Structure 1
Amino acid sequence: MIRWYRERKARKSEQNRGSETGQPIRPKIKFGRSLMSRYMLLILAAFLFVPVVVPMVATVFIVVINNVSSSEEAPYGNADQITELWAIESKKLDGASDQIIDKRMKELQEKYPKSAMYRVDAAGRTKLVLGGEEAEVLKSKSLHPSVTAEGEPASLDSDVILKWSLATGKKSETRIPAIWTPNDTVQFMKEALYRDPLTVVSFIGGGNANKGQGFMVIEVPRELIQNLTNNGLLEFVYFGVVMLIVFVIFIVMSVLFFAKIRKRLIHLQSAMVTPSKEGIPLPVDIKRSDEIGHLEESFNQMVHQLTDSLQREREEEQLRKRLVAGLSHDLRTPLTVIRGHMHALNKENLSDQGVRALSRMEGKIQDLGELIDNLLTYNLLTSGRYTLKLEQKDALRMIREAAASWYPVWEKEEFEIDIDLPETPLIWDVDAQGLRRVLDNLFQNVVRHAASGKYIRISTEQIQGRTAVVIADRGPGIQPDSGTKGTGLGLSIVDLLIREMGLRKRVDSSDAGVRTYLYSGKEIDREV
């Protein structure tokens, strides 16, 4: 509560500062903290889900999953590594002699025993063929030194075929000509691109650049550099699981977003329909300065205005009650003095006109006394200080007694009196004086407002299993602008007394007159 009063005081100070311009000061919502920004972010995520998330997940899957392989599955590395290795080794042999080149290639053969290597010099003659553990060399003959010029190295005197037995069960052959023609070179390059084994060609001394020193070739079975196991189904499952996780995260974010909004709105709705002891809802805590936060702030302002209005209404009601009570008591004293002097005048010898004037004055004084009594009674009833002593009374007997006291008035007004009450007693829990006051006010209301009909009927009827006393007249009925309770303090006092005694009242009005029903508020009337 202390926090609430502090916030209320702060808001009032802001309103007072804003009253100079006539506009209440309301802090602006920062876009980053508003519901609109979060909703737009959610919509953006939904739009980017397919064109961005799917390619991103696929890329991550290819880069991370497909490139993760152990050394056992690819003991010679991948194709790029072998290509780079062969280019580096060829560059190191720049300007080397045939003996050094052959020696280095044999060393590489020992390091990679499952590969095959061969070399061709600048003249297109095959100088060296090294078959590996996986390749069978066919039609291979020993070198026959045939020197055409002084110092020229020997070459192969026939073609060589490398026959590969691959892990897939297929057979592959590589034809190595003894003398390479341009056609042989072009055909070899075409077949080397996509064949198995992997074939890497590098120029001696230049790598990818021809320095006129010939070229060297390495062939490696592809099962040594890649995993040939078909993981298509497994890859599809991995990709599907990742996409499902991303989709579930998106759905969960959406559900949490709208669930939080719904929770705050339900909390605000509960605060609206849960009144305090004073009948006014309690203010709610403002946790976020967004659209719903502004709605909560407006609700709190409404609650504060209602609280202030109720407080002012109570203060005005207390002031009115004190004023009515004081006025009633203050008017009784001069009214008593006036009645004493009028009583003295009755003993004097007055003319006929003076007697009539004195009679009219006595009637007005009596009306004024009744008005003062009504004011005092109404004030006591509304303040809860009117003491009622509820007892079991025969309502029909009290109604007969009240009607008998009003007979002279009705006869004077030339009313047709129709009283039809059963002899069986009707027991109500009422205050005797209060019920008489109710009947007197109702009878007086008939005389004042239904005198043109010159008719009154008092009877009983059954309403929802209860016996009701009906007071009917043939007056003009209640006018549309007068309401169902009539006008003046009399009927207001009737309503208050009926409520305090636990009775019920119903009024039916038409052009034929008004019918007022009085019955007990209990489920079953006690008839004796």
Structure 2
Amino acid sequence: MEIWLWVSIGILIAIIIALLVKIHILQRSVKEIEIAFADRLVTDTNVLIDISSSDKNVRRLANTINGQLRKLRTERRRFQQGDLELKNAVTNISHDLRTPLTALSGYLELLEQEEKSESVNRYIEIIKDRVDILTQLSEELFKYSVIISTKDNITKEQVIINTVLEESIAAFYTVLTERNIVPEIQVSETKVVRMLDRSALSRVFSNLISNVIKYSDGDLKIVLSENGEIAFSNMASGLDEIQVGRLFDRFYTVEAARKSTGLGLTISKTLVEQMKGTISAIYENNRLSIHIFFPDLKE
């Protein structure tokens, strides 16, 4: 009797050990799939998940995930192709617009020198205004096409953010004065130094200040913190949360008259991310705040 008892215990222990081994193998296989799946999501590769487990259920899971990866890659290729076509279209349109607009501006200047009636002069002013708007739009398109086609050409150097920010604000002194906007400026006394592209950073600040001039209700607050965060905030009662959520979208503009391309903040976002920074917009109590952060990467 005791022999059978010990045999039963031995069999039970063997079953438990076998189950524990099975569980361990399953856990290892699932972990293997998890690591491989995470790698495939961030890597542009056609290699699918291949696991060492012989368990049919685990292999079925891997096959299902591989099927979804194939679909994801197909959609990714379609998106990349569409994005490339759009970038090429933007570049071509910007080039095609610049030359005729320059010529048209020249003809208008010549026409202004001729004797004309008052009504003709009025029409010429209207045409000039429209040409100026189109010229501005084409220049913005051209700048954007240059940025997206040279995204890997960021030239980094040690930049004192305090200095670039102060220079950018000073460049808009006249326009801010004309709009009766007196900026409240809080700049860290400590030099905030980061590895950035100085020209790109200056363009980002200029775009943000220009945006404030367009949409501010009359105030502007700029804060540079010691940790590398820059905040631009202003009252903007004409906006809503949905519009603010789309501010960085390509070609989106809150202007019904479409006098801008909606690329200013898109360009800023692109440049900030190329310099390994982050940019975001917050809208609370009718106040728009745009935050930029450049971590100290010690490059």
TM-score (norm 2): 0.75
| 1:317 corresponds to which of 66, 83, 91 | 83
Q: Does the CA-based 8 Å contact 1:396-1:426 persist in structure 2?
A: yes
Aligned to 2:283: 509
Aligned to 1:274: 39
Q: Does the CA-based 8 Å contact 1:442-1:491 persist in structure 2?
A: yes
Aligned to 1:10: none
Query: Which gives a bigger RCO, structure 1 or 2 (Cα 8 Å, sep 6+)?
Result: 2
CA distance in 2, matches of 1:274, 1:478: 40
Aligned to 2:257: none
SS for the counterpart of 2:205 is helix
Q: Which runs of 5+ in 1 are unaligned?
A: 1-235
| 2:212 counterpart letter in structure 1 | V
- The alignment-based identity, stated in percent, is 18
Instruction: For 1:45-124, list aligned pairs within 5 A.
Output: none
Aligned to 2:11: 246
**Does the C-alpha gap of structure 1 residues 523 and 380 become closer, same or farther in structure 2, counting only changes over 3 Å?**
same
Q: Which runs of 5+ in 2 are unaligned?
A: 253-261
Instruction: For 1:400-439, list aligned pairs within 5 A.
Output: 400-412=166-178, 414-420=179-185, 426=191, 428=193, 429-439=195-205
Aligned to 2:237: 476
CA distance in 2, matches of 1:364, 1:312: 37
CA distance in 1, matches of 2:112, 2:191: 45
Aligned-pair Cα RMSD in Å: 3.6
CA distance in 2, matches of 1:411, 1:282: 60
**Does the C-alpha gap of structure 1 residues 358 and 286 become closer, same or farther in structure 2, counting only changes over 3 Å?**
farther
Q: Deviations over 1:422-471 (max 9, x none)?
A: 69695645434323322332122223333xx12334x4353xx4365443
Q: Which moved more, 1:510-519 or 1:421-430?
A: 421-430
**Does the C-alpha gap of structure 1 residues 481 and 280 become closer, same or farther in structure 2, counting only changes over 3 Å?**
farther
Q: Are 2:122 and 1:337 aligned?
A: no
Question: How far apart are 1:299 and its partner, in Å?
Answer: 0.8
Question: How far apart are 1:477 and its partner, in Å?
Answer: 6.7
Q: Deviations over 1:374-420 (max 9, x none)?
A: 323333333444644444455445444444443444444x4332354
**Does the C-alpha gap of structure 1 residues 323 and 477 become closer, same or farther in structure 2, counting only changes over 3 Å?**
same
Instruction: For 1:151-162, list aligned pairs within 5 A.
Output: none
**More helix, by proportion:** 2
Instruction: For 1:112-511, list aligned pairs within 5 A.
Output: 236-275=1-40, 277-278=43-44, 282-285=48-51, 290-385=56-151, 387-393=153-159, 395-412=161-178, 414-420=179-185, 426=191, 428=193, 429-450=195-216, 453-457=217-221, 459-462=222-225, 465-466=226-227, 468-476=229-237, 478-484=239-245, 486=247, 487=252, 488-511=262-285
CA distance in 2, matches of 1:332, 1:289: 64
TM-score (norm 1): 0.46
**Does the C-alpha gap of structure 1 residues 362 and 426 become closer, same or farther in structure 2, counting only changes over 3 Å?**
farther
| 1:479 counterpart letter in structure 2 | D
CA distance in 1, matches of 2:46, 2:293: 33
SS for the counterpart of 2:182 is strand
CA distance in 1, matches of 2:197, 2:145: 18
Q: Does the CA-based 8 Å contact 2:207-2:265 persist in structure 1?
A: yes
